[in-house]
Each structure stands twice: as structure tokens, then as C-alpha cells.
Amino acid sequence: MNLNDLTVNDTEKIALDDLFFSNENKAALLQIIKEHQYIEELKKYNLKVDNKILLHGSSGCGKTTTAKAIAHTLNKKIIIVNLSTIIDSRIGETSKNLKAIFDKAIRERAVLFLDEFDQIGKSRDSDDKDVGEMRRLVNTIIQLFDYFPVDSLLICATNHYEIIDSALLRRFQLRLKYEMPADDQLNVYYDKILSGFPSEYQNIQRNYGVSYAEALDYIHTTMKKQIIASLESR
């Protein structure tokens, strides 16, 4: 399979201030960003920067946008890989594809974002009938992790933290949990997004108990209905 078919070079620019998540997560991410901004100075003291992050938790709560914001802040290219697209019935092909992707990220000193990490990082102690194959794949991933250079950044995301192999989990210096936003957090998000529309369209019923992604989809759908209705009534 062609390497270009496996990766996405995303050019969307997202700032850290555009993200909505806990203050604890933001502080931890800012620390890693600062480490990479001062990487040469830290090397003088034989201090290695953290460069492996695992984002886990509820879907639609900002894991992908976090990776994009980190890349933008560090002025690095981001390579996005949905791991469900590289799984091959032949485990050797999957390992080969992974190595090619890691090599590309290393050459370009890019941020490598592996989405749906549980697709390849599943525990070797699972009851999966293909556990032998999975052991070999996880061993390959461990080697790729261990030789990943500090001037590149690896970010993995999963909605299924509990099935990730423990040896892989230990290799992430930072593990951040993303949870469904509370009502007050959603209100801040609604206020920010709605402020970009004319005031006559902003007074909409707000949905709660949803992710940020679901809230955004809801706002956009509601806005389109209102704007079209306004145009047709003229």
C-alpha cells in the first residue's frame, strides 16, 4: 500500500486557546510544548524532553484537535494516521506499514498522531484468537517507540484505554484523560461558537450531556436551518 494512502498531512491551524479541556490537561500539555521549544537548552543539562503522549477517553472531546494544536504551536507538520486503515491480514504488512509511517515522521521531525491506537496496541494477554500475531505486532510497536527520537513528537489516541498493553502504556510519559464536558463547560463553548454568528441567530436551545463535537454539529445544523428559513421568508 502506498504510504500516502495511509497518512494525512493536515494543514488546519488550531491554537491552544481554541481548545476546551481541563486546566490540568492544559498545564501538562503546555509543559511538554515548552520542553520542545527549549529542547536545545535542556540537552546541555542532559535532560530529555517528553515526546510520547496518550490521549484517552470519550469520543468527540478534543483528542484530535489537541494534536493539531500542539503541532501548530510548535510549528511542526502533523501526520495523522487512523490505525484502523493500516491493519492487514498479514501481520508483517501491518508492521511494515507502521515502520514506514514512523520513518516518515522521523525524517520530517513531525508530530505523528496515531488515532484509534487500540487497533494495534491491544494487550498481549487478551483472549483474542490472534493473540500470537498481536504479540508480534505489539513487540514491533515497542521497538518503534523506543527508537523514536526526542525531536519528534508521538501522540496516540484511544477510546479504549483499558485494553492497551501495559508495556506500551509505560512508554507514554504523559497520559491525559478526556471526559464529557459538564454543563458549565458546554455553556462556555456554546458562547464562544455562537459569538461568531449574527445576534439574531444566537438564541438557540442548548443541548447538554453531549461532547464538544456533538455540540458543534448541533450548532451548525441549527444555524443552517435558521439562515435558510430567513432567506426563504424574504
Grid cell 498481536 is found at 134
Residues 220 and 106 placed together within one structural domain of the fold: no
Stretch 173-184: mean pLDDT: 93
Check pLDDT > 90 for residue 105.
yes
Three-state secondary-structure class, residue 26: helix
What local confidence, expressed as pLDDT, does residue 8 receive? Answer: 57
Residues 6+ apart with CB under 8 A from 72: 13, 14, 15
For the record, the C-alpha cell of 99 comes out as 515502520
- The neighbour count for residue 2, using CB atoms within 10 Å, is 7
Residues 55 and 110 placed together within one structural domain of the fold: yes
Render pLDDT for 190-215 as a digit per residue (tens, 0 to 9): 999 999 999 999 999 999 999 999 99
Q: Which domain holds residue 133?
A: 3-178
Render pLDDT for 59-99 as a digit per residue (tens, 0 to 9): 888 899 999 999 999 999 999 998 877 776 566 678 888 99
What local confidence, expressed as pLDDT, does residue 201 receive? Answer: 94
Check pLDDT > 60 for residue 129.
no
The reported pTM is 0.85
Q: How many domains does the chain have?
A: 2
Q: How far apart are CA 58 and CA 41, in angstroms?
A: 37
Residues 100 and 196 placed together within one structural domain of the fold: no
Residues 166 and 191 placed together within one structural domain of the fold: no
Q: How far apart are CA 135 and CA 144, in angstroms?
A: 14
